[in-house]
Every structure is written in structure tokens, then in C-alpha cells.
Amino acid sequence: MKIINGLVFKEDFCFHKEDLYVENGFFAANTNDEIILDANGGYVLPGFIDIHLHGNSGFDFSKGEEEGLDHIADYLAGHGITSFAIASMTQPYETLKIAYKNAAQFKNSARKDTAQLLGINMEGPFFSSEKKGAQSEKDLQLPDIEMVKSLNEVANGLIRIACVAPELPKAMDFIQAVSQFCTVSVAHTAANYDVAKEAFEKGATQVTHLYNGMLPLLHRQPGVIGAAIENSNVKAELICDGIHVHESAVRAAFRMFGSERIILISDSLCVCGGEKKQYEFGGHLISVKNGAAVLEDGITFAGSTTDLFSCVKKAISFGIQPEDAIRAATWNPAEAVGAIKAVGSIANGKHADFLICDKDFSLKATYIGGNLVKKW
């Protein structure tokens, strides 16, 4: 395939007016294929990568429904997300074991016309009860290295991110050990600056949904946010749905961390793309009110009701440069889950996962492995 008349987003994080080639499902320097795709002056973007979502279209990964990941992946492909890391919730070991086994089976048998699973984001159960949010308090545990290793074995090595509150007993040992085989992310924590700083020095390199599930950045108590800003190895997830984080704080995050260290995520729940207004999630009843997914108290956010592509458009509407927002939804998440050699950018030899968008970033077509999976 030859793609013409497009503004191609390349690895220098700039747009280039040039032709693009796809050969046997990969970006290439040339092609013998006679098929020509006319982008009509629109943008050609790398496929978006969501490394933190729990579900959509009525399905929740942690429930362990065998058909769940099929539906979740189909929905993602239809919304410009070509690959993803599915996030689990704080659940008992046996419940997680079923979900993780399903993920391994899905990975081995996934169709080529749907979003591809890159791995698992283990969000819980090693969290502070003070900042648990929608996580199940009765299932919270102290950091357990062997539990992660066991679940990773069940998942055929699919755990790409493991989350932890670093103030918990033995958390530093956990960080040192687990960071040897996956990204460790600081999450749902009441840690102060000193504890967070030590966690990053021990090997944690990510912050889960910045601002949410942690103490605020204060001038005398900078907390996790202050420690993360100062460590150049640390990336920060950011939910840009217009509900979880005020637009001013979104702009501040990009200024504080730089576009190279922000990872846009959806943190979407089963309510995303679902028809019902109430769902059970993580042991809680969730309701959708004014676009937000909230617990029974009507105040506590449980996650988002939107998808990553919509979050990128929202970030751009907040004044984030398109190039920065796109990088935060492609290259940065691919790096975070160790997939940058295969996806996350348009470059020769990488999987030909790409989007065609109009000048207003309206999604026109999604291609995965060079094959059209959705067109508008």
C-alpha cells in the first residue's frame, strides 16, 4: 500500500508531507503493492495506545469474562486505539488469576482486525486504604513480590506495569524486585515527598493517573507529584477527559513534565460505550452522572466514561499542542510497556498501525497491521 497526500507524524514528533509505504503489514521504504490510499490532505498518525483502561462496552476485564477482551478490543479499534494494556483492579488472587489467564489466551488467539493486547497493567491490590478510591478495601494487600511473579506466570509474562503505594511495609523491596521485569508505577498512595523520592530512586518509573489517588502538590508538602517532577526517569499518566483533571492542571502537567514524560490514558470503565447507566465494578455500584462514573456516594470517581482518542482531542482543545498530545498517546505509552520497537510511531519495520484524520482531528479510518478495520 502507498499512502499519498497525507501529513505524516514521524519519529521527530513533527508532521511531514510525504508518501508512506506499507508492505506485508509493516511500514516500509517502498512497496510492490499497487494499492493507493489517498489521505486527502489529512493527518496520518500512529495508532493510539492506551495502557490504562479497565473495560468498555459493558465489559470489565477483572470480572474474568472469557468474551470480554474480544468486545473491549473491538470497541478500541473502532475508536482509533490500535493496541492497549488492560488494567486489573484490586481483587483476590484467584479472581485475578482467572482474568490474567484469559488475557494470555486472548493474546495467543487474537484476531488481526482488532486492537492488539500489549500486556497487563496491574492496578492493585498493593494500595493505601486512605487513597484507595474505587479499589476494594477488603481486598487490599501489602506488597507481595511472589504474588506478582505467580500472576505473571499465569499470564505468560504479560504484566507490563505493577502499581504500588510506596509507603506500605516492604514496598521498597517490592519496587527493586519487580522493576527488574516490568514498569513499577506509584499509585493510590498517601506517600510524602521523601518516600516517593526513595521509591523513584529504587526503580519506580511511573505515576498512575497524576493528581488522582495521591496527595496534592503543596509548596511545603510536594508529595509524589513534586518527587516525580524532579526525576527525569519518571513518566506520569494523565486522564484528560475534562472531568478528572481541570484543563489548567492538564496544561500545568505538560509544562512540568514535558511532552516526553506525559502518558495520556483513558482509565475507561465498562460504562464507556455501554448502554446502561449503572454497573457493578470492583465490588461497587457505579452510576454515570453528568459524564462521570461515580460510586454510591455520588462524589468518588471510579474511572472514566470515555476513550483515549477523545482524551487526545480534549487535550488539544485545552491548548496542548497536537504534536505533544499525539506523542503522549503513542510513543510514550509504547515506551512505558516496552513495546517501542514494534509500535508507537511510524517508522520502517514497525507494525503498520495508523489512523487517518481530518484537519480537525476527526477520525476517518483505522488501520491495524496495514488492514482497514474501521472507516467513517
| CATH ID of 48-343, from 3.30.300.180, 3.20.20.140, 3.30.70.260, 3.40.50.150 | 3.20.20.140
Signed CA dihedral, 116, 121, 122, 123: sign only: negative
pLDDT at 277 over 70: no
pLDDT digits (tens, 9 = 90+) for 158-215: 999 999 999 999 999 999 999 999 999 999 999 999 999 999 999 999 999 999 999 9
3-state secondary structure 76-104: HHCCCEEEEEEEECCCCHHHHHHHHHHHH
- Distance between CA 122 and CA 185 in Å, rounded? 9
Mean pLDDT of all residues belonging to the chain: 94
pLDDT at 242 over 70: yes
Which region among 132-136, 260-264, 286-290 has the lowest average model confidence (pLDDT)?
286-290
pLDDT at 233: 98
Cα 262–114–98 angle (5° rounding)?
80
Q: Considering the candidates 60, 267, 307, 353, report the single residue annotated as catalytic.
A: 267
Side chain identity at residue 372, one-letter code: L
- To the query of whether residue 267 is one of the catalytic residues in this protein, the response is yes
- Distance between CA 164 and CA 255 in Å, rounded? 26
In the CATH scheme, what is the code of domain 1-46+345-376? 2.30.40.10
The residue-averaged pLDDT of 245-252 equals: 98
pLDDT at 294 over 90: no
The residue-averaged pLDDT of 69-95 equals: 96
Please provide residue 238's backbone torsions phi and psi, each rounded to the nearest 5 degrees: -145, 125
- Percent of the chain beyond pLDDT 70? 98
pLDDT at 71: 94
pLDDT classification of 304: cutoffs 50, 70, 90: confident
Domain borders along the chain are 1-46+345-376, 48-343
pLDDT at 326 over 70: yes
Which region among 52-56, 60-64, 106-110, 283-287 has the lowest average model confidence (pLDDT)?
283-287
The DSSP string of 142-204 is ---HHHHHHHHHHTTS-EEEEEE-TTSTTHHHHHHHHTTTSEEEE-S----HHHHHHHHHHT-
The residue-averaged pLDDT of 86-107 equals: 96
More confident residue, 149 or 277: 149
pLDDT digits (tens, 9 = 90+) for 11-24: 999 999 999 999 99
pLDDT classification of 276: cutoffs 50, 70, 90: low
Cell readout for 166 is: 510506596
Residues 6+ apart with CB under 8 A from 300: 133, 134, 294
Cβ–Cβ < 8 Å for 2, 35 = yes
pLDDT at 141 over 70: yes
pLDDT at 65: 85
Cell readout for 227 is: 518527587
Angle formed by the axes of helices 145-154 and 171-178, to 10°? 30
pLDDT at 320 over 90: yes
As beta bridge partners, residue 356 has 44, 365
Taking the whole predicted model, whether its pTM rises above 0.85 is answered as yes
